[in-house]
Structure 1
């Protein structure tokens, strides 16, 4: 049973890292949102498996939150925002896909080396899940900094937050009150992001960060 427990936990956590690379590779908004939905789905499965391993029923609430809000509600709502605003569907990147993927591999290697060395006394399953979680977090940050489109940066931020949830559940779970507050924070942040994108589109007729920088330069 221990072998199966480790294998399934590593499969799901490693799957999140792989899907994070898929996020890095996407150059279309709809494809990016679809991949993020899969990312959130795998996160919910990973959290549910941790709930089973740790015998922590409150983690099933976290898994349900990830499934409903992150895998379904948020991607569907962002699809509608893109259609409503008529946002350009291509994603412009700061650097090419090749260098970005190489940087991602470097971040994953760094995560593994750092986390496995600083937690030598921790439970083997927890320390390896934390290494995967740090990889997901750093890859989400990389998605944010390499995308010029505001929606792409929002998706990068949400994938980064998925890494934080994976780390918290791998480290023997989070208190239920924290999970509920995180869920409400996500909903509130999403509402603010939606209003923010509408206002940008209304004022500047674009959500491209480079175009906004150019506009700021012209005003000077």
Structure 2
């Protein structure tokens, strides 16, 4: 594999890590949804490049699913859901943006150290991409645990799933049927989460998970 192919693959995977940090930095709901759409676009470009480099036609299907479902359908649906729920406001974080970003940097460093040592004998494009994919996954988890708002936690979960797809394609991909199954599973999960969001809104008049914790604490 030539040097340009490696550099381009790493640039796109690194771009996903950068956009993950942009997700962590966002404190406005609509801004968060716009950045998530960008995250999905970068994922689709990365998968498309892997399809070209690996000569794997089925990855073109994965790239198409990513750009249609994740960059268009889900962000538009989430935007409409946010408008209906009336939660388009500032997103509260646990501990503030600054400490969250510092924790994110630490997680990326940990991912690089762990994965580059664990996969030292792997193919170069797979090794670095797996390290960057693990960074995206951990940043998605960090976003889920540092946000009170349920919608932002959903975005964190979706960005985590993008990292899993990046890892799978960087490691020479998965069978097409598995990728399509994952895409439909994500869509079903998104629908179920949407139903729960509206139920939470009806019950607690808020989608802030802190309000739910306060309610439980008041009953005990």
Match in the other structure for 1:23:
23
3-state SS of 2:206 partner: coil
Deviation at 1:7, TM superposition (A): 1.4
Match in the other structure for 1:120:
120
1: distance between equivalents of 2:125 and 2:94? Answer: 36
Q: Kindly indicate whether the alpha-carbon contact (under 8 Å) linking 2:17 and 2:132 is maintained by their aligned counterparts in 1.
A: yes
2: distance between equivalents of 1:135 and 1:202? Answer: 36
Provide the alpha-carbon RMSD of the alignment: 0.9
Deviation at 1:3, TM superposition (A): 1.5
Match in the other structure for 1:3:
3
Give the TM-score taking structure 2 as reference length: 0.98
2: distance between equivalents of 1:41 and 1:47? Answer: 10
Match in the other structure for 1:55:
55
2: distance between equivalents of 1:72 and 1:182? Answer: 17
Match in the other structure for 1:177:
177
Match in the other structure for 1:168:
168
Q: Kindly indicate whether the alpha-carbon contact (under 8 Å) linking 2:28 and 2:88 is maintained by their aligned counterparts in 1.
A: no
Match in the other structure for 2:40:
40
Moved over 3 A (4+): none
Gap runs ≥5 in structure 2: none
Match in the other structure for 2:217:
217
2: distance between equivalents of 1:118 and 1:133? Answer: 14
Deviation at 1:88, TM superposition (A): 4.6
Deviation at 1:219, TM superposition (A): 2.3
Aligned length: 220
Match in the other structure for 1:149:
149
Deviation at 1:217, TM superposition (A): 1.7
Match in the other structure for 2:79:
79
3-state SS of 1:121 partner: coil
Match in the other structure for 1:65:
65
3-state SS of 1:27 partner: coil
Gap runs ≥5 in structure 1: none
